[in-house]
Amino acid sequence: MTPAAWVLALPVRAYRLLLSPYVGHNCRYTPTCSAYALEALQKHGALKGGWLTLRRLARCHPWGGFGVDDVPD
């Protein structure tokens, strides 16, 4: 993972550690958005991985889709 991607992954890791246990497990997609973000940042780096994460978060709403949504290669 690049240094910039590692920095962007810090808030995701903090969310998973501090907030996720209290919010509940109501994810519409598999893998969860936080797991998707970490994988995208690891595979594609800060710029493209961050963009993929933002796109995924924008799709996560009550009228959005559901199901398996893997990180593209």
pLDDT at position 18 = 94
* Helix pair 33-59, 3-14: axis angle to 10 deg: 90
Cis peptide before 31 (omega within 30 of 0): yes
Tell me: pLDDT of 25 over 90. no
Name which residue leads in pLDDT, 64 or 42.
42
- Helix (H, G, I), strand (E, B), or coil: what is residue 67? strand
Q: How far is 45 from 33, CA to CA, in rounded Å?
A: 17
Is the pTM higher than 0.85?
A: yes
Per-domain boundaries in the chain: 3-68
